[in-house]
Each structure stands twice: as C-alpha cells, then as structure tokens.
C-alpha cells in the first residue's frame, strides 16, 4: 500500500535529484570552463536531461528494472506499460510511477557527469548520440546488475545509492572519452582558469543539498535509514571538504574555493555507495579517505597520465565512488557503527564482492564507451573544428554569447 509519508519524501527526493543536475551540476561545470563555453556546458546538461528522460520512458527503465535475465531486463515496461496510477513499487510504500521518476533523475545525472570530460571541444551532436547510446548500453544494464535483480545484486554487492551504478560508470567512461577526444587546446600548459569560481561553489552547494535526496532518498522511505543516510552523507562531505582545504593550505599557502568544493563533491561521491549501511564513524572515515584519495587522483590523471579529463570526472567521481564501494565492506560491520554484514558473509568475502562489482562495471564501461565513441566518430564526428573551439562553442554551436554586459 502506498504510504503517504514515504511517498512525500521520495517526491521531494526526486525534485532534489533533478535539482542536482538542473541547475546544480550545470553551474558547477559551467563555472569551471572559459566564458566562451559556458552556454555549451549548460546546453549539454539540459539536453541530456531531456533526452535521457524520454529514453528512460522508451525502454531504459524497463531494461534496468524489469525482470529479464541477470544481465539485462526486458522491454515489458516499455512506455510504462502495465504500470497503473496506483501500482505500488514492490517492497516499498511508494507508487511505481514515482519510483520510475526517482530512478530517472539518476539516469539523467549519470551521463551528465561525463560532460566534465569533454567540455570546450566536443560537437553537440556527438553529445546527444553518445549519451543516448550510453544510457542503453552502459547505464541501464549496469543498473540492472546492481539494483534490478541482476547478477551483482544477487552476489550481494553493496551499493546503496550508486557508487558503482553512477560514479564508477561515469568516471571510467569519462576517462575513455577524454582520451579519445583529445585534450583542450593548450593543455596542460596554457589552459585558462575557471571563468567563475563563484558559480562553481553555487553549483556545488546545490549538489550537496540535492545529494540528500540522492542518498537519503535511496532508502525509499522516511525513517531511521533515511535519517542516518543523510547524516553520514553530510559528515563525509564536510570532512572531505576540510581535507582538501588543508592539503591546499599546506601545499600552496592558499586554500581555494574551487578546491574546497571539489572536496565536497569527492566526499559526496565516496559516501554514496555506503550511505545506507554505515554510521557516523563510517561517514568520517569515508570523507577522510575520499578527500585524500581523490586529491591524489586528480594529480595522477592530469599530470602523470596526461589525460585531459577536464573537470576531473574520473578522479573525483570514479575514484571516489570506487573508494566508497570498497570501504563500504569495512564500515558496514556493526562494531564500526554499520548495519552489519549479511549472515555468513565475512569482511573479506564482502570486499571481494565489492571489488568484483567495481572491476566488472569499470571494464564494461570502458569497453562499451570505446565502441560507442568509435561509432559516434563515424556517424557525426566527435571533436569540433579548431576554429570553432577558438571562437568558443557558445557561439559556434549555439549562436549565443554567455555574457552581454
């Protein structure tokens, strides 16, 4: 039966998660690029949100959440066939229409995260074609594996709100994308600094607030689980922010705003898979780990690998999500304040399961993204022309200027 309290919270959570992408993530990313490309970033986020919504209705949801096989769902819920106004999503107190919506907001933000890898140089048509195919080929199946009755879920993998489903898929795909697309002009010596750090902070703040819907909403009910998920989410975000701030302070003498809010996002991504399983201590530990490891990963990818994953999608989301997924196995244990491992499962077992989850999904994301991009290159090309890039995508792709002061 529908429970009004639970439904009220998931209605709200759905609004919060949509808010994360529109305008949260759009502003977070938009502030980090040059002023001649801000509109293109906003356009990417908006168009992805719209397109994913329709594709989710046209089979995406069904592939993820209908029974099907352990590998992928079937098309029985294409266009929400068979889902009535009053149908309750099984095992919960919320209508299935609402579950569909809540999950849709995840299906929106995940490909939108990848925007960070290709800003300032991609063709707009490629964004749409890539994101659409990616939803069907990467996102929907992986969601099925973990949450939709698929093989990873059956193995007992722990991923409360999408460390694997959202952050590992997006992060790994971002790296492949960045590599295949090539770097921004001038990378790494002569790229321009973020055009509006204030906007980055505003976006990050909206992501933080919206993440309460993401993680605490994933409880699918309004009770102790949601309360604790919100708590650990917040503690992890705060901790990772301060970690990032301290590192910059020690290293450069000046803690930056862009830095502290990058730490926030790292902390949020890291706690995500664990947020329903751990207690306050877990929140602290994952925030600490997320801050330290993601900071190091940012340097690793850009400096060592020399890959222009421009806005650090792999380093912040992918690495954060993977770290949290692994540490979930540790901090789930009751003695550390977690809900406890499943009966008969040891910490070691769980760790192996988690690693398999991360590894398998990373592999699939990489391979599939590679193939999709090969196709995109053939169909419409991937990279904008140098002339367009120099003039800026706002005008060359969208015919507008961001600022007419």
Partner 1 sequence: MKWIIAIIQPHQLDPVREALTAINVHGMTVTEVKGFGRQKGHTEIYRGAEYLINYLPKVKIEVAVESTMADSVVETIRSSSATGKIGDGKIFVIDLESAMRIRTGETQADAL
184 binds, options partner 1, its own copies, none, Cβ within 5 to 8 A by partner type: none
> Which has the closest alpha carbon to 68: 169, 153, 134, 129?
153
Choose the stretch contacting its own copies; rule: CB under 8 A; options: 115-123, 141-149, 196-204, 359-367: 196-204
Residue 308 interacting entry, from partner 1, its own copies, none, C-beta within 5 to 8 Å by type:
none
Per-position x/- string for 132-171, each x denoting binding to its own copies as judged by CB under 8 A, each - no binding? ----------------------------------------
Annotate 192-212 with b (16+ C-beta within 10 A) or e (fewer).
eebbbbebbbbbbebbbebbb
User: Considering CB distances under 5 to 8 angstroms, the limit depending on partner class, which of its own copies, partner 1, none binds residue 227?
Assistant: its own copies
Q: Is 252 near partner 1 (CB under 8 A)?
A: yes
Using CB atoms within 10 A of its CB, is residue 4 exposed (0-12), middle (13-18) or buried (19+)?
exposed
For position 223 contacting its own copies by CB under 8 A, the verdict is: yes
Is the CB of 39 or the CB of 360 nearer to its own copies? 39
Residue 193 sits in the site that holds its own copies (CB under 8 A): yes
Instruction: Please tell me whether residue 314 binds its own copies under the rule CB under 8 A.
Output: no
Smallest gap, in angstroms, from Cβ of residue 364 to its own copies? 27
Residue for token pair 């352990």:
70
CB of 151 to its own copies, least distance (A): 29
Q: Which residues contact 85 (CB under 8 A, 6 or more apart)?
A: 95, 97
Which of 224, 250, 303, 335 is in the footprint of partner 1 by CB under 8 A?
Answer: 303
**Phi, psi (rounded to 5 degrees) for 33:** -95, 180
193 binds partner 1 (CB under 8 A): yes
Instruction: From 179, 176, 136, select the one nearest 370 (Cα to Cα).
Output: 176
Q: Does 390 bind partner 1 (CB under 8 A)?
A: yes
Binding segment (CB under 8 A) for its own copies, from list 83-91, 145-153, 175-183, 325-333: 83-91
- Work out which of 1, 81, 190, 250 binds partner 1, going by CB under 8 A: 190
Site residues, partner 1 (CB under 8 A):
32, 188-194, 248, 252, 254, 256, 258-259, 262, 295, 298-299, 302-303, 312, 390-391, 395, 399-401
């Amino acid at each position: 039966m529908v429970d009004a309290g639970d439904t009220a919270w998931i209605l709200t959570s759905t609004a919060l998660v949509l808010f994360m992408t529109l305008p949260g993530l759009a502003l977070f990313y938009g502030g980090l690029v040059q002023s001649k490309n801000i509109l293109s970033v906003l356009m990417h986020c908006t168009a992805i949100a719209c397109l994913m919504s329709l594709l989710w209705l046209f089979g995406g949801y069904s592939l993820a959440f209908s029974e099907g096989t352990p590998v992928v769902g079937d098309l029985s819920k294409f266009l929400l066939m068979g889902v009535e106004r009053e149908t309750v999503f099984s095992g919960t107190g919320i209508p299935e229409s609402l579950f569909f919506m809540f999950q849709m907001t995840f299906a929106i933000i995940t490909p939108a995260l990848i925007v960070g890898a290709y800003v300032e140089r991609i063709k707009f048509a490629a964004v749409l074609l890539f994101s659409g195919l990616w939803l069907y080929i990467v996102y929907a199946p992986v969601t099925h594996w973990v949450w939709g009755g698929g093989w990873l879920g059956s193995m007992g993998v722990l991923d409360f709100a999408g460390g694997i489903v959202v952050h590992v898929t997006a992060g790994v795909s971002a790296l492949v994308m960045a590599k295949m697309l090539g770097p921004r002009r001038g990378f790494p010596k002569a790229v321009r600094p973020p055009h509006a750090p204030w906007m980055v902070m505003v976006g990050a703040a909206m992501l933080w607030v919206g993440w309460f819907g993401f993680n605490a909403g994933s409880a699918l009910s309004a009770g102790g689980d949601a309360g604790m998920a919100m708590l650990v989410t917040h503690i992890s975000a705060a901790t990772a922010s301060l970690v990032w701030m301290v590192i910059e302070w020690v290293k450069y003498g000046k803690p930056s705003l862009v830095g502290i809010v990058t730490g926030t996002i790292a902390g949020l991504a890291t706690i995500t898979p664990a947020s329903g399983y751990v207690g306050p201590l877990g929140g602290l530990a994952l925030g600490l780990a997320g801050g330290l490891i993601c900071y190091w990963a940012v340097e690793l990818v850009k400096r060592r690998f020399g890959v222009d994953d421009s806005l650090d999608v792999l380093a912040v989301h992918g690495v954060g999500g993977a770290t949290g997924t692994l540490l979930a196995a540790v901090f789930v244990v009751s003695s550390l304040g977690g809900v406890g491992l499943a009966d008969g499962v040891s910490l070691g077992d769980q760790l192996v399961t988690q690693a398999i989850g991360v590894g398998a999904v990373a592999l699939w994301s990489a391979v599939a993204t590679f193939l999709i991009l090969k196709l995109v290159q053939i169909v419409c090309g991937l990279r904008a022309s140098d002339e367009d890039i120099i003039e800026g995508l706002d005008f060359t792709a969208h015919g507008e200027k961001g600022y007419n002061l």
